[in-house]
Chains A and B, each alone.
Chain A
Amino acid sequence: MALVGNLRDLKLPNLIQLNCMEKNTAKLTIEYAGKYGFIYFQEGKVVHAELDPDIGEDALFKMLALNEGKFKVESGVRPPIVSISTPWNSLLLKGLHRLDTLQSSDENKQFHLLSMLMNIKGVKNVAILNPEGEVLASNAKIDSASVITVFAALQVEKMGTLMGRSNPRFISLNTASSRILLAHYKQNLIYLDIETKYQIDTVLTLINQVVTT
């Protein structure tokens, strides 16, 4: 039977330590913000990790930054490849040391922002878009929607200038089947695909809390 839980309750370094000390062969799956990460143990050694697009130690170090997320440990699952050879205790020390650096990087901040927004009920997909309409980070593929929404935000910005107003807090764009919310974030835009059945005002309040933190 698989061991399941949340990293809020059992931290990843402890989970790794537990599996290594028990000399387990297992697959640890972590689901966070719509993303999946995997860590493989073989006879008590950490031998492989994946967190798209990273593999090996880099993937593991990024997962060490997670403070929450569902996890599942499946015993007896063997690794598809071996990408890590560092002993687990050195790996943890190295990882925790690197965490300090990683925590201040933009990439990590964006990852955390996406994760927090994805936790809001009613939010289906999240992306961070630059002013050129390029996706800087996202939990799903959004295709041409990035360009369309950046174009729309640009028109709204121009309307604001005409009306003597700065950038708005939110722009909501609704079609018959979709509701897209846009919020300015530094020089970029946060794109949120919201389930149409949810009251926009409730979602707005929660999103505002996340974006302004």
Chain B
Amino acid sequence: MDEWIFPDQGETFFLGTKVGMPEDNKWLEEILGVAGVEGVLLVSPAGKILAKAGLNFDHLTSEKIAEKIIRIRLIYQQVNQSLKEIEIVWPDYNLVIMLKKEMILITYCSQGKNLPLLRITLQVMMAHLLEDKKFIKQIKKHLNEKPAQIVPEQLDAKEIKLISKLQ
């Protein structure tokens, strides 16, 4: 379980291990079973990919996507605000991102489905997930990771200029 082996496109992985769907992993099964959900990515607060299912992105792309989300969370923290949810709406696609202290859940949804219902369902599932002792035990070591930080060296000139305006 310690070694991170990442999947080929579309495969389902949990904590670096390939898992079968749907029986092997109850929570992945449940989230992917929600009408409209096409894929899910679970990320640690430090940006490690904990789980990935139903997506066509490779590991590196998934990590970079997570990195951008964490940067948004961190910029809010700079002004003492805690971001709870991000939703990105394309004409045919939605990303619903739920940010909890313990993890970040990124859900890829097809448009035209019942989004209010989907949001409520995801909230409920996140709550269940965080109460699931087995799951928390599985991700425990990631909860103690060094907190993510905005690293100026990793930013481009535009991003640095914006951040400098906050100081």
Q: Chain A interface (Cβ within 8 Å of chain B)?
A: 131-133, 144, 147-148, 150-152, 154-156, 158-160, 162-163, 165-166, 168-176, 178, 199-201, 204
With both chains docked as a complex, state the minimum distance between the C-beta of B88 and any C-beta of chain A, in angstroms: 5
- Identify the closest chain A residue to B85 (Cβ): A174
Q: CB-CB < 8 A to B161: which residues of A?
A: 132
Q: CB-CB < 8 A to A170: which residues of B?
A: 87-89
10 A-B interface contacts by CB (under 8 A): A131-B158, A133-B165, A151-B75, A154-B159, A159-B95, A166-B90, A168-B89, A169-B91, A173-B83, A173-B85
- Identify the closest chain A residue to B82 (Cβ): A175
Could you say which of B93, B161, B162 has the most chain A C-beta atoms within 10 Å of its C-beta?
A: B162
Q: Decide if B90 touches A154 in the complex (CB within 8 Å).
A: no
B76 at the interface (CB under 8 A from A): yes
B27 at the interface (CB under 8 A from A): no
Q: Decide if B68 touches A147 in the complex (CB within 8 Å).
A: no
User: What 20 new A-B contacts, CB under 8 Å, besides A156-B72, A162-B65?
Assistant: A144-B165, A147-B162, A148-B79, A150-B162, A151-B71, A152-B72, A155-B69, A159-B68, A159-B69, A163-B61, A163-B65, A168-B88, A169-B89, A170-B89, A172-B87, A173-B76, A174-B85, A174-B86, A178-B81, A200-B87
Q: How far is the CA of A133 from the CA of B159 in the complex (A)?
A: 10
Q: How far is the CA of A172 from the CA of B92 in the complex (A)?
A: 16
Q: How far is the CA of A147 from the CA of B89 in the complex (A)?
A: 21
Q: CB-CB < 8 A to B68: which residues of A?
A: 155-156, 158-159, 162
Q: Decide if B89 touches A151 in the complex (CB within 8 Å).
A: no
Q: Decide if B83 touches A151 in the complex (CB within 8 Å).
A: no
With both chains docked as a complex, state the minimum distance between the C-beta of B2 and any C-beta of chain A, in angstroms: 27
Q: CB-CB < 8 A to A159: which residues of B?
A: 64-65, 68-69, 88, 95
Q: Decide if A171 touches B84 in the complex (CB within 8 Å).
A: no
